[in-house]
């Protein structure tokens, strides 16, 4: 049985701190575009004996977990500079630094927190997450990450996503001290596959331990699934009719399950559908995009795009697969001569497509 989805060495550095980008090739129409982007990014960055490994969880966990990925980087400040911008997809990610590795999270307001293991909560489209910096002493970075499916975090830990909404959290404070034992096991494990088995066992034990706990928030997850099926292009009245609930109940159910309002979840689903669509195309007609994805007008489309990415749609299309790359739920912007042009465009024409 093949557990590995993709193996690729990659080192990404930005001045005095180090950050990473993950890749995941979804079984969808845009998988070739994402693979293409990953290959270009990797070829543009120096590889110095580093590795990133993606593994599927055990079969029993695959309904809850999208993937695990493991990063081992020999820190080297000579690599090409870049900027990473996470894009909200409504899911939760948990990372564990081992062998003295830790992460620092930066927000729009300049504040930061540093954890050896942490949870990145589901966040709204106007992203508060600016940079994820990873450090280690000695200079060998070791990180394992668990990427949950929309309901996965709740199903395993029975903690509603609303409890970790739109922020960073130290893992111990959310799920308890068991994570420390897992960190020790990751340090002792030989090879990625043995590390994967340690995470599998940890999550399975959590699943069994919390099996009897139930917050009765399934309605919120069902509504979210309906919103994603319709790519976010659905009105509140439609959802209320479909689920035969009042608007107040609808708001409460989705908010408890996700932390997000139904309207915000619609925006996230619509934007991700739109971004995936244009990522897989060489040219687009923006007027068609307005009607196809349910925007009011071009200004609405531009405003939402810039809110999520800090760049304009036209800028994205111009530099896509040159200096701007979409890899799963991240945008990676390489800082070379063309990215200097990006900065000029952002200053000179901040309002246009």
Could you tell me which residues come within 8 angstroms of residue 342 by beta carbon, excluding any fewer than 6 positions away? 311, 315, 319, 323, 324, 333
Residue 137 lies in a domain: yes
Give residue 43's pLDDT.
45
**pLDDT tens per residue across span 172-212:** 888 888 888 999 999 999 888 999 999 999 999 999 998 88
Residue 316 lies in a domain: yes
Which of the listed residues 155, 190, 209 is the one where a domain comes to its end?
Answer: 209
**pLDDT tens per residue across span 106-119:** 666 667 777 778 88
The verdict on 97 and 150 lying in the same domain is yes
* Most confident range, picked from 46-50, 90-94, 154-158, 341-345: 154-158
Q: What is the DSSP letter of 68?
A: E
| Chain Cα centroid distance, residue 43 | 22
Give 122 or 57, the one with higher predicted confidence: 57
**Residue from 125, 152, 95, 102 nearest 260 by CA:** 125
Lowest mean pLDDT among 12-26, 191-205, 251-265: 12-26
The verdict on 169 and 30 lying in the same domain is yes
CATH code, domain carrying 285: 1.10.10.60
Give residue 82's pLDDT.
55
What percentage of residues in the chain have a pLDDT greater than 70? 69
The verdict on 43 and 191 lying in the same domain is yes
**pLDDT tens per residue across span 261-273:** 899 999 999 999 9
The verdict on 111 and 49 lying in the same domain is yes
Give residue 250's pLDDT.
92
Residue 348 lies in a domain: no
The verdict on 158 and 50 lying in the same domain is yes
Q: Give the span between the Cα atoms of 177 and 3, in whole angstroms.
A: 28
**Residue from 270, 252, 322, 216 nearest 90 by CA:** 270
List beta partners, residue 113. Answer: 105
Residue whose tokens read 């709204």: 124
Sign of CA dihedral 70, 75, 80, 86: positive
C-beta of residue 181 within 8 angstroms of C-beta of residue 233:
no
Residue 304 lies in a domain: yes
The verdict on 205 and 240 lying in the same domain is no
Whether 139 shows a pLDDT value over 70: the answer reads no
**pLDDT tens per residue across span 277-289:** 998 888 999 999 9
The verdict on 145 and 258 lying in the same domain is no
Residue 346 lies in a domain: no
The verdict on 197 and 236 lying in the same domain is no
Give residue 242's pLDDT.
94
- Residue 133 parent element (H or E): strand 129-136
The verdict on 122 and 265 lying in the same domain is no
Domain ranges, residue 84: 4-209
Which of the listed residues 189, 209, 229 is the one where a domain comes to its end?
Answer: 209
pTM of the model: 0.73
- Tell me the chain's radius of gyration from C-alpha atoms: 20
- Helical segments of the chain, H only: 31-44, 152-157, 171-175, 178-188, 192-209, 218-229, 236-243, 247-258, 262-279, 286-292, 298-309, 313-319, 337-348
Query: Average per-residue pLDDT in the chain?
Result: 75
Lowest mean pLDDT among 146-150, 163-167, 261-265: 163-167
């Amino acid at each position: 049985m093949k557990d590995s989805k993709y193996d690729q060495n990659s080192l990404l550095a930005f001045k005095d701190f180090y950050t990473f980008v993950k890749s995941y090739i979804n079984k969808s129409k845009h998988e070739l575009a994402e693979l293409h982007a990953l290959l270009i990014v990797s070829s543009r960055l120096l590889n110095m004996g580093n590795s990133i490994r993606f593994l599927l969880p055990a079969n029993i966990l695959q309904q809850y977990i999208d993937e695990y990925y493991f990063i081992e980087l020999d820190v080297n400040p000579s690599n090409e500079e870049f900027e990473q911008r996470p894009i909200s997809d409504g899911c939760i990610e948990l990372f564990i630094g081992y062998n003295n590795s830790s992460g620092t999270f930066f927000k729009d307001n300049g504040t930061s927190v540093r954890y050896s293991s942490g949870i990145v909560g589901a966040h709204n489209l106007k992203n508060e997450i600016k940079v994820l910096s990873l450090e280690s002493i000695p200079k060998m970075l070791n990180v394992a990450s668990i990427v949950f499916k929309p309901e996965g975090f709740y199903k395993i830990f029975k903690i509603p996503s609303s409890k970790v909404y739109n922020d960073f959290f130290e893992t111990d404070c959310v799920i308890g001290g068991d994570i420390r034992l897992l960190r020790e096991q990751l340090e002792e494990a030989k090879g990625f596959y043995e590390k994967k088995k340690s995470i599998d066992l940890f999550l399975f034990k959590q699943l069994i331990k919390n099996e009897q706990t139930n917050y009765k928030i399934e309605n919120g997850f069902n509504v979210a699934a309906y919103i994603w099926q319709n790519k976010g292009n659905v009105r509140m009245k439609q959802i209320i009719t479909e689920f035969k609930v009042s608007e107040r109940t609808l708001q409460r159910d989705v908010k408890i399950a996700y932390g997000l309002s139904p309207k915000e979840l619609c925006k996230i689903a619509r934007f991700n559908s739109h971004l995936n669509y244009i990522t897989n195309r060489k040219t687009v007609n923006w007027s068609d995009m307005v009607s196809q994805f349910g925007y009011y007008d071009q200004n609405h489309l531009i405003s939402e795009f810039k809110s999520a990415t800090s760049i304009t749609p036209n800028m994205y299309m111009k530099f896509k697969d040159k200096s701007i790359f979409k890899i799963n739920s991240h945008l990676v912007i390489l800082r070379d001569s063309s990215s200097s042009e990006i900065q000029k465009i952002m200053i000179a024409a901040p309002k246009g497509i």
